[in-house]
Structure 1
Amino acid sequence: MLSDTIRTVKDAEEKAAARVAEARQAAKADIAAATAAAADAETAAIEAAHAAKAAAAKAAKEAGDRRVLDARGMAKATADAAGEITKKKAADAVEEILGGIRRQWQ
C-alpha cells in the first residue's frame, strides 16, 4: 500500500514535470513569436517614418515649385503691365508732340 502511494506520487510528479516542460516550451515559443512581431512592427514603423519624411520632402518641393511658378507669373504680369504703361506713356508723348505740331501748322 505504501509502495502504491509512492508509485502514485512519483507518477504525479513525472506528469507534473512533463506539464511544466510543455508549458516552458509553449512560453518560449510565445516569447519568440512576440519578439518577431515586435521586430516586424518596429521595421514597419521605421519604414512608415521614412515614407512620411519622403512625402513631406516631396510636398515641400512641389510647394516650392508652385511658388516659383507663381512668382514667375507675377513677374511676367508685372512686366506686361509695365510694358503697357510704357506703351501708353509713349503714345501719349507722341500724341502730345503731334498735337503741338498740328497747332503750329494751323
Structure 2
Amino acid sequence: MKKANVRRCAMTRTLEWKVGLYLVEEDGTTRARAVLDTGTVSLTGQGVARCNPEDVDVPAIGDELAASRAMRDLAEQLMRVADRDLEGVGAGQASRRTLTGYGWPDATA
C-alpha cells in the first residue's frame, strides 16, 4: 500500500502579505478600499462611513469607520477562500455555532 504524501501543519515558513488601504472623503462620505494580493489571490474589501449632518465633522472618525469596514469585508472574503481551500483538501468547515477556528480557537474570539 502506497503511503499518501500529506503535508502536516508543523512546517516553518515566513510570508509577508501587504494590504493597501485607500481612503477618499467627499461631501461627508468616506470610502475605503482594502486590497490584499497574496501572490496567488487578490481580494478587495470595501467600506463606507457617512457623517451625520447633526454630528461634529471629525474626518479621522470617518477614516477609522470606513477603513475598519473595508478590512472586515476583506477578512470575510479571505475566510471564505480559506473555507473553500479546506473543503478542497477534505477538512470541511468549522462549526459556526461554536466559533472554533480550525485549530486556532482564539482566532475567532
Same-fold call, TM > 0.5?
no
- Bigger Rg, which one: 1
Q: As a proportion of its length, which structure holds more strand?
A: 2
User: Normalized against structure 2, the TM-score is what?
Assistant: 0.31
Structure possessing the higher relative contact order (Cα contacts under 8 Å, 6 or more residues apart): 2
